[in-house]
């Protein structure tokens, strides 16, 4: 039986006075890509932000590697080995590509150097534009930089929020390929609206609707179930 | 020609003093979005404690050291007790830091007395030297050198070290930098302390320059520093340097050629910059450059 790296149980969360997450429960298994699916405004991004400590949990439990991380400071959660790629990519626009990478590196050792080389081979554009300011990159390059930055440390879990958002189909393909390659090195919890990308990368899925996890299962089962796709994802 | 050179030196010296005060203010604003009106209080505390140590011991260097330590300690107190409870609320920040500025100002009178104090440069910086036909006042050159050194060291740290990268990144996106494993509170505190120490250093260096110190000068210099921060671009370190030099030079030339306009020149400069470049000379996408 596979071990659960991240466990979210009956989590509720507010943003200011708004009750956004009503009852989120999910398990992320080591070595897999788990995809959060759902319509716009269902609570997927808030779920990732809550796991990362950027939103307070009002009720429920979150454990990572068997350790409670509920309402911990985001930097502590990051230092436990969770990398985060936000929906807006979070690129530091006035830092160069190289500086964006350097600022993320926690330990400068041989392993990190090798990891950096591997990731720059995966995203050669980053090497090419190493001295270019982050704010001047294209949408796809920014997305690659955001993913690379989260991956440069030996994080066991990556939380990636809508990597395909606003990207041209050809770039989406490239990002999909890179996530498939990263899968061999880290566990991934992915929020994705693009079902094609989600189904090409995901092993398991959770559907979030109105702040609640309403369904989960293996991705290949969902791919074949037209009724569920129509009901929760609006895919005809 | 001599006159022009002397006016330039006066302007640069004044500009460097304002830069030392404004640089801390701009970093604190850029990183923490804090409008710290108590900054001028740190300036006068640096001046008074530094001058006290200098006049008691006879060592100008010790005076500078004491001023810097005072700035660091007051920085911790200001950040922890005054600013931390009002992060994210500018109205409360203005009210509480302005209140604290007045407390610091009045407390100076309690500790050091209400009267002005005369201060002279140390013997090794007194007087002038002549190059060609031009007379250079030693203390003004000293201030310019200190200002340049601080600018170069701080620029090096901000641009070339990882901690500098973290500060610059934190100015741009506080949330993202935390998700990269950085404890932003420690960074906030460190920047606040350094900014406060620079303000205190500025106060100490200003004392022999103006020849007299008094409790109310903190508020006067605070306003100058805010003007510089606005002109330079809020959060921009390089911008604050250029704006401070601009303000210093404008003041020096106006005071000589159009004395009636010398007080208004800063406001005129700020108005012009705000009309044509509302975000300041250096547009800041977040912050410190």
Chain B residues in contact with A104 (beta carbon < 8 A): 180
> What is the domain partition of chain A in residue ranges?
4-87+154-233
Name the residue facing B165 among A103, A135, A149 (closest C-beta).
Answer: A103
**What rounded mean pLDDT belongs to chain A?**
92
Residue B288 pLDDT greater than 50, yes or no: no
Name the residue facing B173 among A52, A92, A149 (closest C-beta).
Answer: A92
Q: Give the tens place of pLDDT for each residue, A175-233.
A: 899 899 888 889 999 999 888 899 999 999 999 999 999 999 999 888 888 887 787 77
Task: Provide the pLDDT for residue A2.
Answer: 59
Q: Which residues pair with B117 in a beta bridge?
A: B213
Nearest residue on chain B to A151, alpha-carbon basis: B180
Chain A residues in contact with B289 (beta carbon < 8 A): 94
CB contact under 8 A, B285 and A149: no
Task: Provide the pLDDT for residue B289.
Answer: 43
Q: Give the tens place of pLDDT for each residue, A10-29.
A: 999 999 889 999 999 999 99
- Angle B143-B147-B151 from CA coordinates, rounded to 5°: 170
CB contact under 8 A, B180 and A103: yes
Cα dihedral across residues B157, B158, B164, B165: positive or negative: negative
Q: How far apart are CA B160 and CA A36, in angstroms?
A: 40
Q: If you average pLDDT over residues B53-57, what whole number do you get?
A: 97
Residue B51 pLDDT greater than 50, yes or no: yes
Cβ count within 10 A of residue B223: 14
Residue B215 pLDDT greater than 60, yes or no: yes
Reported confidence tier of residue B284, pLDDT bands at 50, 70, 90: low
Task: Provide the pLDDT for residue B87.
Answer: 82
Task: Provide the pLDDT for residue B219.
Answer: 87
Q: How far apart are CA B213 and CA B140, in angstroms?
A: 17
Q: How far apart are CA A29 and CA A1, in angstroms?
A: 10
* CATH number of A4-87+154-233, picked from 3.40.50.1820, 3.40.50.300, 3.30.360.10, 3.40.50.410: 3.40.50.300
CB A85 within 8 A of CB A159: yes
Question: Burial, B12: exposed, middle or buried (Cβ in 10 Å; 0-12, 13-18, 19+)?
Answer: buried
Beta-carbon contacts of residue A107 (< 8 Å; ≥ 6 apart): A153
Nearest residue on chain B to A79, alpha-carbon basis: B181
Q: Give the tens place of pLDDT for each residue, A115-157.
A: 999 999 999 999 999 999 999 999 999 999 999 999 999 899 9
Residue A166 pLDDT greater than 90, yes or no: no
Residue B113 pLDDT greater than 90, yes or no: yes
CB contact under 8 A, A94 and B286: yes
- Counted across chains A and B, CB pairs separated by less than 8 A come out at 63
Q: How far apart are CA A137 and CA A95, in angstroms?
A: 11
Q: If you average pLDDT over residues B199-216, what whole number do you get?
A: 95
Residue B287 pLDDT greater than 80, yes or no: no
A:148-167 residues touching chain B, CB 8 A cutoff: 149, 153
E strand or H helix that includes residue A187: strand A187-191
Residue A84 pLDDT greater than 80, yes or no: yes
Chain A residues in contact with B168 (beta carbon < 8 A): 92, 94-95
Residue B286 pLDDT greater than 50, yes or no: no
Chain A residues in contact with B174 (beta carbon < 8 A): none
Which tokens in the block code for residue B40?
Answer: 């001028």
Distance from CA of B178 to the nearest CA of A (A): 5
ipTM of the complex: 0.92
Q: How far apart are CA A147 and CA B234, in angstroms?
A: 30
Beta-carbon contacts of residue A72 (< 8 Å; ≥ 6 apart): A53
Task: Provide the pLDDT for residue B116.
Answer: 94
Tokens 């990269």 belong to: B180
Q: How far apart are CA A166 and CA A169, in angstroms?
A: 9
Name the residue facing B165 among A79, A95, A153 (closest C-beta).
Answer: A95
> What is the domain partition of chain B in residue ranges?
2-218
CB contact under 8 A, B184 and A75: yes
Reported confidence tier of residue A76, pLDDT bands at 50, 70, 90: very high
């Amino acid at each position: 039986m596979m071990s659960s790296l991240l466990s979210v149980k009956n989590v509720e969360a507010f943003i200011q006075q708004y009750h956004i997450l009503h009852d989120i429960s999910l398990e992320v298994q080591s070595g897999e890509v788990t995809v959060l699916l759902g319509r716009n405004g269902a609570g997927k991004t808030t779920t990732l932000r809550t796991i990362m400590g950027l939103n307070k949990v009002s009720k429920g439990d979150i454990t990572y590697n068997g350790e409670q991380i509920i309402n911990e400071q985001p930097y502590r959660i990051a230092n436990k080995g969770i990398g985060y790629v936000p929906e807006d990519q979070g690129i530091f626009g006035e830092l160069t590509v190289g500086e964006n990478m350097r600022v993320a590196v926690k330990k400068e050792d041989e392993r990190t150097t090798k990891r950096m080389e591997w990731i720059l081979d995966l995203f050669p554009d980053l090497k090419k534009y190493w001295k270019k300011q982050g704010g001047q990159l294209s949408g796809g390059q920014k997305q690659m930089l955001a993913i690379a930055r989260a991956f440069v440390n030996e994080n066991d879990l990556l939380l990636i929020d809508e990597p395909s958002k606003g990207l041209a189909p050809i770039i989406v393909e490239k990002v999909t390929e890179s996530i498939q390659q990263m899968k061999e090195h880290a566990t991934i919890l992915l929020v994705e609206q693009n079902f094609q990308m989600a189904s090409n990368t995901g092993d398991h899925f959770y559907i979030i609707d109105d702040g609640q996890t309403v369904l989960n299962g293996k991705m290949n089962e969902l791919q074949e179930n037209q009724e569920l796709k129509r009901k929760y994802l609006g895919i005809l | 020609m001599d006159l022009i050179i002397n006016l330039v030196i006066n302007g640069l010296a004044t500009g460097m003093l304002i830069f030392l005060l404004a640089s801390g203010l701009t970093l604190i604003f850029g990183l923490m979005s804090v409008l710290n009106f108590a900054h001028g209080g740190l300036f006068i505390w640096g001046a008074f404690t530094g001058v006290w140590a200098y006049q008691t011991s006879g060592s100008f260097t010790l005076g500078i050291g004491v001023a810097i330590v005072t700035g660091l300690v007051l920085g911790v107190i200001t950040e922890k007790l005054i600013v931390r409870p009002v992060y994210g609320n500018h109205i409360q920040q203005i009210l509480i830091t302005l209140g604290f500025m007045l407390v610091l100002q009045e407390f100076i009178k309690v500790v050091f007395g209400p009267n002005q104090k005369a201060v002279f440069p140390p013997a090794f910086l007194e007087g002038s030297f002549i190059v060609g036909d031009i007379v250079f006042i030693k203390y003004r050159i000293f201030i310019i050198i200190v200002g340049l050194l601080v600018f170069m060291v701080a620029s090096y740290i901000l641009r070339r070290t990882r901690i500098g990268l973290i500060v610059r990144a934190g100015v741009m996106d506080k949330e993202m930098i935390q998700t990269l494993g950085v404890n932003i509170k420690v960074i906030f505190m460190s920047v606040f302390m350094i900014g406060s120490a620079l303000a205190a250093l500025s106060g100490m260096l200003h004392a022999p320059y103006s020849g007299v110190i008094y409790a109310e000068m903190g508020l006067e210099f605070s306003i100058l520093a805010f003007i510089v921060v606005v002109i330079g671009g809020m959060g921009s370190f390089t911008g604050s340097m250029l704006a401070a030099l601009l303000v210093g030079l404008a003041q020096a030339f106006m005071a000589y050629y159009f004395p009636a306009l010398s007080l208004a020149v800063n406001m005129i400069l700020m108005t012009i910059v705000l009309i044509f470049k509302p975000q300041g000379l250096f547009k800041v996408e977040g912050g410190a450059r």
